[in-house]
A and B are shown apart, each in its own frame.
Chain A
Amino acid sequence: MNSDRIAELYRTWGPAIYRRCLRLLRDPEAARDATQEVFRKALSSPGKLADPATGLPFIYRVATNHCLNERRNAGRRGETELVDLDLAAILPDFPQRRLVQRVLSRFDSRTQSIAVGVLVDGMEHEEVADVLGISRKTVSRKLARFLEHARKYLERSAA
């Protein structure tokens, strides 16, 4: 792929990638770095980027996975904590959002993507399933498991 084409694709998809990273990382510098990495990864599938119908769900998935990994890695490295995900507004049952995030980090990356898609982004189960390339049933099952564990974890923490 030549430089002009890469630049064109970056102009097209960069804003959406940057917004996604900003939403998940809540830090402009971290989002800027992540945007480059996500775009590089996305470039490995130029066919998907060429088609608007497949490009957006694709970059959404790649960006979500990358940024959730970044959050996890930042925690492991003991670096400055990234600002909390905006879970509290969507999960009124779970006012202790920091605890909810701790629960999130205990799950595999796919479950994290599902939980963030539904609980943070307000996506319908079917929409999450389309983006992740899995069945709606899997989305429901993993989300139910996540919420069940979150409740238990919070109950234990409160005790």
Chain B
Amino acid sequence: MNHPSELKLERHLLDPGRSSIAGHVAGCDRCRERLLEMEKQGEDFRRFVYPATLENVSRRRWTPWRTLWFLAPAAGLAAVLLIARTGPTSDYIGTKGGALTLTAYVALPSGTRAVADGETVPASASLRFRVRTSQPCALTLLSVDAAGEVSKLYAQEVRDDVTLPGGVRLDGSAGPERFFAVCDPGYDDVERAARRIAPSVRQKNALPDVQGPQASLLIEKIP
């Protein structure tokens, strides 16, 4: 007997009235038992996990971005064109590290949004970046693609929580591209390290032999 998948059971729980598996569930002890277990786990979430974690998940939110996205280009600051060679498309990059975090935002027809690490974005999308650092930092932000092409995007002093001016536009070619934010590096060292990790750009999320805090984000460019 074929039983509904976990995903179908989840759909059933979300909206039993429109469930496509209601008939099966009614006659299947195993599925009813699994649904009861799932309901109990959901109840555990509501009773214990939700109250303990709500503040934490709410803390990281980025409200002013949609506005800033459109205001920042007017500042005329380095709307860096990232003429991407053979590289991936990007959306955004996640955040990493305690001392330095990096977030990328992609402009889409539906609006501006942060992109999760490893997520796909249109190959010609425009990105903006936000960094947060616990100490003043001489920041270098660069990207590297699988072909080993390194693009230096920013080099400037930052402190606290900063949206970098302007933005970058991807080159339109498909593939992975990883962005690195590094505090107080020697740029040549960073560039060399970035080239070294290029063959494994999807897997390597840290630049080897580079001093100072760093954070990275991977995007996958799609045509």
Contacts and interface: CB of A to CB of B under 8 A. Distances in A.
A88 interface: no
Nearest to A19: B41
Interface string A136-157: 0000000000000000000000
Contacts of A56: 7, 10-11, 14
Given A15-B41, A18-B44, A122 B6 contact: yes
B147 interface: no
A122 B4 CA distance: 7
A103 to B, nearest CB: 18
Interface string A83-103: 000000000000000000000
Interface residues of B, number: 41
A129 interface: no
Nearest to B48: A32
Nearest to A4: B58
A62 B48 CA distance: 22
Contacts of B92: 44
B116 A44 contact: yes
A122 B31 CA distance: 12
B15 A32 contact: no
B73 interface: no
A35 B49 CA distance: 9
B46 interface: yes
B5 interface: yes
Interface of A is mostly: helix
A49 B94 CA distance: 18
Interface in A49-67: 52, 56-57, 60, 62, 65
B53 A32 contact: yes
Task: Kindly state the interface size class of chain A when it binds its partner.
Answer: 35 or more
Interface in A1-38: 1-3, 6-7, 10-11, 14-16, 18-20, 22-23, 28, 32, 35-36
Interface in B73-114: 92, 94, 110-111, 113-114
Residue of A40, A62, A123, A124 with highest tally of chain B CB at under 10 A: A40
B60 A127 contact: no
Contacts, number: 102
B67 interface: no
B118 interface: yes
B15 A52 contact: yes
A15 B58 contact: no
Contacts of A2: 63
B7 A14 contact: no
B194 interface: no
Nearest to B37: A19
Contacts of B2: 122
Contacts of B42: 15-16, 18-19
Nearest to A23: B6
A52 B11 CA distance: 9
B5 A60 contact: no
A60 B10 CA distance: 10
Given A6-B58, A19-B10, 16 more contacts: A6-B61, A7-B54, A11-B46, A15-B42, A16-B14, A16-B42, A20-B6, A22-B41, A32-B49, A35-B49, A44-B114, A44-B119, A47-B111, A52-B15, A56-B7, A117-B5
11 contacts: A14-B46, A19-B42, A20-B6, A23-B6, A43-B57, A44-B92, A44-B115, A47-B110, A121-B5, A121-B7, A122-B4
Interface of B: 2-8, 10-11, 13-15, 38, 41-42, 44-46, 48-50, 52-54, 56-58, 60-61, 63, 92, 94, 110-111, 113-119
